[in-house]
């Protein structure tokens, strides 16, 4: 377990204190099974009883329908036999060629826990209120979803797919900072409790945008496969940033005016890698502009307010700015936000 202090300036006089515990149980058991080249019933039961295994299945079920213990067992058996399956949501056969990289990277991570924690903490330190105090657990898993994730009902945990990092230590540090900041957000952002899809969109755009701004892959100097992959996504979105704002306008309009539209379909359009996560970078640009113009203390106070207020602050700033190059939301979006005024 590693402890660090994050120096913030928003709340109270004490410095934020966050402890990080690394959990490797799922990765260790997975590698053990493939080292033996076979899997007993006891092996499978132990693997599926692990919290990280259950969390991975929960995450995968947001993308696929046929996710359960039986389908995981079938995928594992096929991977052990080096026999790819069709319609396999787990696609564990993809992991087999990368087992040695995973094994060596796991040992490298174990030796670098302090370094990972310290560097990840430094990225989010000045964006973390002094009152924040919690213990986080980082669960590493072997999977095919890529990257990291958190769950709303687990405010003290985040998950990382070790395979997707391809041995990139710097990528792990940046990814850890991004996911760790989501846990910080849970402790001072105003949470959306209305259940309205419009407000969900505002909240998710700010949450992902701020985490991407705090853990900014575009500023990474050390390059690995995962870091370069993310830097390319940043470049793609920076070149089309006004189009991303137009994209947001369209998604917001659908959610506000089309009663038949489902949240999940709009989420897939803007907040997943399907189109390089355009709304992440709407939020990122908002954070960059607000931080630069408001000053850090006022910026953090704004982040702690309702997402609607963050959007209004950005729109007001752009409307009153002489900088015509700032990306802007449409007047229709402003009208929709005003219609939701308290």
In whole angstroms, what is the distance from residue 308 CA to residue 54 CA? 35
Taking the model in full, what pTM does it have? 0.92
Cβ neighbors of 27 (< 8 A, separation 6 or more) are: 102, 106, 140, 141, 142, 162
Query: Is 27 in contact with 163 (CB distance < 8 Å)?
Result: no
Select from 243, 235, 236 the least CA-distant residue to 219: 235
In this prediction, residue 271 carries a pLDDT of 94
Select from 120, 113, 159 the least CA-distant residue to 139: 159
Residue 63 pLDDT level (bands cut at 50, 70, 90): confident
Query: CA quadruple 206, 210, 212, 216: dihedral positive or negative?
Result: positive
- Looking from the CA of 179 toward its CB, the CA atoms found within 13 Å total 28
Residue 134 pLDDT level (bands cut at 50, 70, 90): confident
Residue 230 pLDDT level (bands cut at 50, 70, 90): very high
Strand pairing of 157-161 and 16-23?
unpaired
Q: Considering the chain, what is the average pLDDT of its residues?
A: 91
Residue 12 pLDDT level (bands cut at 50, 70, 90): very low
In this prediction, residue 78 carries a pLDDT of 93
**Token representation of residue 314:** 């950005």
In whole angstroms, what is the distance from residue 143 CA to residue 163 CA? 7
In the predicted structure, residue 342 carries a pLDDT above the cut 80: no
In this prediction, residue 317 carries a pLDDT of 97
Read off the pLDDT of each residue in 119-145 and give the average, rounded to a whole number: 90
Query: Is 201 in contact with 172 (CB distance < 8 Å)?
Result: no
In this prediction, residue 306 carries a pLDDT of 93
Which of the pair, 165 or 67, is modelled with greater confidence? 165
Select from 282, 289, 281, 252 the least CA-distant residue to 267: 252
Residue 88 pLDDT level (bands cut at 50, 70, 90): confident
pLDDT digits (tens, 9 = 90+) for 140-199: 999 988 899 999 999 999 999 999 999 999 999 999 999 999 999 999 998 876 779 999
């Amino acid at each position: 377990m590693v402890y660090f202090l994050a120096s913030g300036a928003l709340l109270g006089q004490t410095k934020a204190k966050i402890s990080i515990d690394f959990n490797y149980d799922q990765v260790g058991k997975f590698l053990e099974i493939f080292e033996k080249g076979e899997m007993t019933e006891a092996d499978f039961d132990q693997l599926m009883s692990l919290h990280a295994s259950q969390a991975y299945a929960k995450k995968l079920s947001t993308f696929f329908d046929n996710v359960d213990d039986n389908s995981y067992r079938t995928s594992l058996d096929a991977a052990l036999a080096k026999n790819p399956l069709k319609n396999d949501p787990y696609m564990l056969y993809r992991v087999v060629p990368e087992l040695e990289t995973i094994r060596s990277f796991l040992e490298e991570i174990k030796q670098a826990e302090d370094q990972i924690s310290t560097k990840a903490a430094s990225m989010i330190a000045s964006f973390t209120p002094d009152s924040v105090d919690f213990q986080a657990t980082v669960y590493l898993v072997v999977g095919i979803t890529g990257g990291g994730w958190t769950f709303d009902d687990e405010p003290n945990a985040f998950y990382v797919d070790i395979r997707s990092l391809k041995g990139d230590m710097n990528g792990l540090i940046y990814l850890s900072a991004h996911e760790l900041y989501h846990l910080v957000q849970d402790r001072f952002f105003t949470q959306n409790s209305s259940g309205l899809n419009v407000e969900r969109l505002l909240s998710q755009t700010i949450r992902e945008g701020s985490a991407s701004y705090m853990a900014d892959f575009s500023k990474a100097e050390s390059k690995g496969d995962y870091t370069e992959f993310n830097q390319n996504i940043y470049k793609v979105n920076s070149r089309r940033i006004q189009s991303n704002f137009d994209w947001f306008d369209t998604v917001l309009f659908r959610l506000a005016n089309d009663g038949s539209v489902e949240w999940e379909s709009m989420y897939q359009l803007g907040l997943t890698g399907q189109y390089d996560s355009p709304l992440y970078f709407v939020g990122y640009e908002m954070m960059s502009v607000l931080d630069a113009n408001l000053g850090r203390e006022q910026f953090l106070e704004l982040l702690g307010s309702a997402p609607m207020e963050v959007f209004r602050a950005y729109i007001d700033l752009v409307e009153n700015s002489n900088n015509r190059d700032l990306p802007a939301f449409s007047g229709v979006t402003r009208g929709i936000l005003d219609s939701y005024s308290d």
